[in-house]
């Protein structure tokens, strides 16, 4: 999980908890860009491994699919592995997290630390610096090419 994901996840929805972002739930990472469907606005995407079937992953999938903040749910195959991608609406408060520089106030820093309730190296930077810089945001890896509809249909005449 990236440092940016550790900072953004507590602000996506009030319903999300730490367990929804664990490997047991199938969580892979948080992304800001989609290489297959680029947009002018920075969107926020959560990627989950579709092959993981645990009680926590089922509970997380139900929770995420019922959230009003989720814009789209997509299935994608990347390197012959299936993933579910949840695209979130970005409101004014979330848009500041997609910028290359983050200026967090004390209340936002406390929210992040309370959400994770665990020590991490990102907290040292969070508490010691007033502005955090990120050198580029990760993009969702490109999906496998599955061919087009016309490649699977034959236009031969039957005689």
- Please say whether the dihedral angle defined by the alpha carbons of residues 29, 34, 40 and 45, taken in this order, is positive or negative: negative
122-138 pLDDT, tens per residue? 777 777 776 676 655 67
- Six-digit token string for 43: 């969107």
Q: Where are the domains of the chain?
A: 3-152
Q: Find the angle CA(67)-CA(134)-CA(20) to the nearest 5 degrees.
A: 25
Q: Is residue 159 scored above 60 in pLDDT?
A: no
Most confident of 94-98, 104-108, 116-120, 126-130: 104-108
72-91 pLDDT, tens per residue? 898 988 888 999 999 998 88
């Amino acid at each position: 999980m990236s440092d940016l994901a550790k900072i953004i996840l507590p602000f996506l929805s009030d319903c999300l908890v730490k367990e929804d972002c664990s490997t047991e739930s199938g969580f892979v990472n948080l992304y800001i860009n989609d290489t297959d469907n680029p947009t002018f606005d920075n969107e926020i995407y959560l990627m989950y491994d579709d092959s993981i079937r645990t009680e926590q992953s089922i509970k997380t999938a139900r929770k995420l699919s019922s959230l009003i903040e989720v814009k789209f749910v997509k299935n994608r195959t990347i390197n012959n592995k299936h993933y579910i991608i949840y695209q979130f609406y970005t409101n004014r408060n979330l848009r500041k997290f997609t910028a290359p520089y983050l200026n967090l106030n004390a209340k936002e820093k406390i929210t992040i630390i309370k959400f994770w309730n665990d020590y991490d190296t990102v907290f040292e930077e969070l508490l010691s610096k007033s502005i955090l810089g990120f050198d580029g945001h990760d993009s969702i890896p490109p999906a496998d090419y599955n061919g087009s509809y016309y490649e699977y249909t034959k236009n031969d005449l039957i005689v």
